[in-house]
């Protein structure tokens, strides 16, 4: 994919959901593969401002389901992550690295991502 308007439009589409922005931000910050549980905890902490120990099983299931059913498939189909369902592991791709400047610009202006997103 080139660095032209298509790439930018793709990034805008991928950043259109808060959960995906959190996933993209933590992958950019960590620069390594992460488990679905890692991503679930990060979304819970940064979007719902709840610790895992205080979260209901229903809330955790809802976040995991949204990752499995919506966000991981969308990111994978865009080529920015590889997902290993056996290991439940999400890994950024070379495409993710190429889109990083666009991602950084968009994620940098998100008022909900003021703090560094960490696990």
Tokens representing 63 are 């976040």
Q: What is the CATH number of the domain that holds 56?
A: 1.10.10
Is 119 part of a structural domain of the chain? no
> What distance in Å separates the CA atoms of residue 50 and residue 54, rounded to the nearest whole number?
6
Is 118 part of a structural domain of the chain? no
Instruction: Say what the pTM is.
Output: 0.87
What is the band of 1 on the pLDDT scale with cuts at 50, 70, 90?
A: very low
> What distance in Å separates the CA atoms of residue 95 and residue 2, rounded to the nearest whole number?
10
pLDDT tens digits for range 37-65: 999 999 999 888 888 889 999 999 999 99
> What distance in Å separates the CA atoms of residue 108 and residue 110, rounded to the nearest whole number?
6
Among the ranges given (32-46, 75-89, 92-106), the one the predictor scored with the smallest mean pLDDT: 92-106
The number of folded domains in the chain is 1
Is 66 part of a structural domain of the chain? yes
Q: Pairing relation of β-strands 34-35 and 81-84?
A: unpaired
Could you tell me which residues come within 8 angstroms of residue 16 by beta carbon, excluding any fewer than 6 positions away?
none
């Amino acid at each position: 994919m080139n660095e032209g308007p298509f790439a930018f439009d793709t990034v805008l589409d991928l950043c259109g959901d808060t959960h995906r922005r959190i996933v993209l931000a933590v992958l950019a910050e960590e620069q390594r593969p992460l488990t679905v549980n890692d991503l679930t905890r990060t979304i819970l902490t940064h979007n719902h401002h709840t610790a895992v120990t205080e979260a209901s099983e229903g809330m955790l299931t809802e976040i995991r389901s949204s990752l499995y059913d919506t966000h991981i498939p969308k990111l994978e189909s865009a080529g920015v992550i590889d997902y290993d369902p056996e290991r439940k592991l999400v890994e950024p791709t070379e495409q993710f690295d190429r889109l990083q400047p666009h991602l950084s610009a968009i994620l940098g202006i998100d008022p909900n991502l003021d703090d560094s997103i960490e696990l």
